[in-house]
Amino acid sequence: MKEKKIDAVEVWKELDALAPRLGLSVIDRTVYLHLLRLTHVEGRRRLRFSILGIAPHLGLSGGPVREAVRRLLEKGALRLIERSNMGHVVEVRLPGEVRVPGGSGAGSRDKLLGGANLDKVDFLRSGALRRAIHAREGGVCFYCLRHTPSRAHCLDHVVPLMEGGSNSYRNLVSCCMGCNSEKRVQAAADFLRRLYREGRLSKEDLSARLLAVQALAAGKFRPQVFSGKNAGSEGGTKHKGARGGATPRGAEVQGLNRSVIS
């Protein structure tokens, strides 16, 4: 059954309001509008497409289109249904259906501290939650360990959304723009080994980073907004021997984030 066709003028107005709030770039908007035309304008919500298939229609190469699709998935404008060798199957959401991050005040913090199931929290849904991930890393890129000013850091999915990753604190890290751009859809371990081969990580750093990826997935790096007896990582705390790369023992795993990220 076909979807009801949209009011193009209303959708355009909604997109004009949505784009700056989500931080959509010109290329993001171009790709999104193209996918809207191929779905809702045609009376449907889902579409199968390939990156290299739509890029020529937009006058772009595959790389920028791939990055735009990744960002649109992260921001909720697209919902991934399937990814295979034949391309992506996505649900394209109308601008009015996209949840805009908000609620960064104290009320959000109180609600989260009140017993929310941490593993079910979408850490991209509000500014407060995104800042909690950045604070956890203490101003240091999760991958290359360089100190990163707030104006130049971003969030990265360790396991890309296209590969089944989520917006959980177990899958989001704060990193520099360079690593975010270079990693793309590489597995985190493969990307870290690449940094080591390029001399951007020492052997000890590599060992520590690989352990950190495992600890992250295991839920050991809880954001500071959920501090208390379960606050296993306190991003920003300085620790001597941060690059020592020693393998944690038992309960020391809980403090791994402090020792290898700071």
Residues above pLDDT 70, as percent of the chain? 77
pLDDT digit string (tens) for 12-26? 888 888 888 888 888
Q: In one letter, which amino acid is 133?
A: I
Its pTM stands at: 0.47
Query: Which residues, 6+ apart, have CB-to-CB distance to 161 below 8 Å?
Result: 70, 73, 74, 80
Residue with the bigger pLDDT between 185 and 32: it is 32
Confidence class of residue 5 from pLDDT cuts 50, 70 and 90? low
pLDDT digit string (tens) for 49-69? 999 999 999 998 988 999 999
Confidence class of residue 126 from pLDDT cuts 50, 70 and 90? confident
Cα–Cα distance for residue pair 235/232, rounded to 1 Å? 10
pLDDT of residue 216: 92
Query: Which residues, 6+ apart, have CB-to-CB distance to 48 below 8 Å?
Result: 82, 86, 87, 88, 89
pLDDT digit string (tens) for 188-234? 999 999 999 999 999 999 999 999 999 999 988 888 664 433 333 33
Torsion of CA 149, 155, 159, 161, to 10 degrees: -160
